[in-house]
Amino acid sequence: MRRRSLWAGAVWAAFWTASASAAPYTVKPGDTLYSLARSVGLTVAQLQTLNSLTGPGLKVGQVLEVPTVGGPLASPSPLSIPPVPVSPSPDALNLEPVAGRVSRAGCCAHPVWTADSTHLLFLDRPAGREVGMYSVPADGTGLSGLWRLPPTLLSEGSLYGLQPAGPATALALHFGASSAGVVVTVPTSGRDAVWSPEGRLAWPTYGAADRSDWTPLTVLTADPFGSEAKAPSRPLVTVYGGRLVGWLNEDTLLLTGRLARNDARRSVLTVDRATGRTRVLAQGQLLSGVRPSPDGTQVLFRVTLDAAGRGGLFVVPTAGGAVWPVPTFGSGRWQDNARLLLVPYEPGQASHRLLRIDVTTGQTEDLLSFSDKIAGDDWQVAPDGTRLVYLSAGDRALHVLTLPDEGMLP
């Protein structure tokens, strides 16, 4: 099962949060549509629609209908891509016909796949149009609409969501449930939070330190929809100079960091949710590119700035065991539970190429060549493993490539 983290990783989605409980609000000096909308978890467009407003301005003393934060919410619909009333043509967004390109030039960093692998979401503001999350079909057949609603962290399967509702509060949502709105206090407003497959939540809090690589990171967990819903969030583990990666399964979290402040190397480690017990899988001076396999049984990671012979790209089982060195160094993503896609590190080349490596046999195949280079390691594999999207360093547009499917593993 592929894991999603916030925000890179995150998955952005939209839903109507029109409250079943609204209250009059009198506009005060300093209020703006943006600040009011953000405080109750709406977009400016939603707040305007709710109050039949046509312009951006507000007057002191003006009375608005504003949803009550934390009040009962109308049940959100299952995740879908809502079309705009009139779909814009490619010409309206300066989309010249280019093979494999699915967005206009100069936009769209950090695209996110929808769970069904059919569409891509990205933040954009085309000329003359509203800023928002746009959706395009991954096959390049045209635009499907503007994503107008607030960003939300979704769980696998889109059953749960987390929406920032203030500087220190996030709204937990159970899609399709009658008790959709549960306010949970998350000091990062959900920015770095991660969902488990069944709706548990984990997020980091950061302490002060003289050096960034000594910064204490404490992971907290909560169960907003389960039997522990009314229990306060509880700290699970503290590491130093690390990062919360995500859930491997319902009971286990994956993170990086030093277990003690003065440890010489950081660790890739798992944490048991029930006991807080940690298991060190591997260590390295500087860890990056940490990615669990879709089924959570293996972890890919990169080690740099370490002693001679210690650097490289590696795979380690999450149950513990020998670390396997990937034969080629570069940027990797999982295509399925046994195969990696790898962009080799080849400085000086005019374009990138893509390898596929079977981690069970070590067999490597040269899969395809890009027409140019990937910008800033910005590429993602579709959840079904059939395609990948990348941000072109040449035209700064999104391009989609179809991957060979011979011998695709489950």
* Residue 38, domain member (yes or no): yes
* Residue 333, domain member (yes or no): no
**Mean pLDDT calculated for residue range 103-108:** 79
Rounded Cα–Cα distance for residues 285 and 77 (Å)? 45
* Token pair 């690390």: residue: 242
Question: What pLDDT score does 78 carry?
Answer: 33
How many independent structural domains does the chain possess? 1
* Residue 270, domain member (yes or no): no
Q: Could you read off the pLDDT of 353-406 as tens digits, one per residue?
A: 999 999 999 999 999 999 999 999 999 999 999 999 999 999 888 999 999 875
pLDDT band at 25 (very low <50, low <70, confident <90, very high): confident
* Residue 36, domain member (yes or no): yes
What is the SS3 assignment for 308-375?
A: CCCCEEEEEECCCCCCEECCCCEEEEECCCCEEEEEECCCCCCCCEEEEEECCCCCEEEEEECCCCEE
What range defines the domain where residue 43 resides?
27-61
Q: What is the dihedral angle through the alpha carbons of 338, 339, 344, 345, rounded to the nearest 10 degrees?
A: -30
* Residue 52, domain member (yes or no): yes
Higher pLDDT residue, 176 or 242? 242
* Residue 31, domain member (yes or no): yes
Q: Could you read off the pLDDT of 298-316 as tens digits, one per residue?
A: 999 999 878 767 889 999 9
Question: What pLDDT score does 380 carry?
Answer: 93
Q: What is the dihedral angle through the alpha carbons of 63, 66, 72, 74, rounded to the nearest 10 degrees?
A: 120
Rounded Cα–Cα distance for residues 298 and 110 (Å)? 24
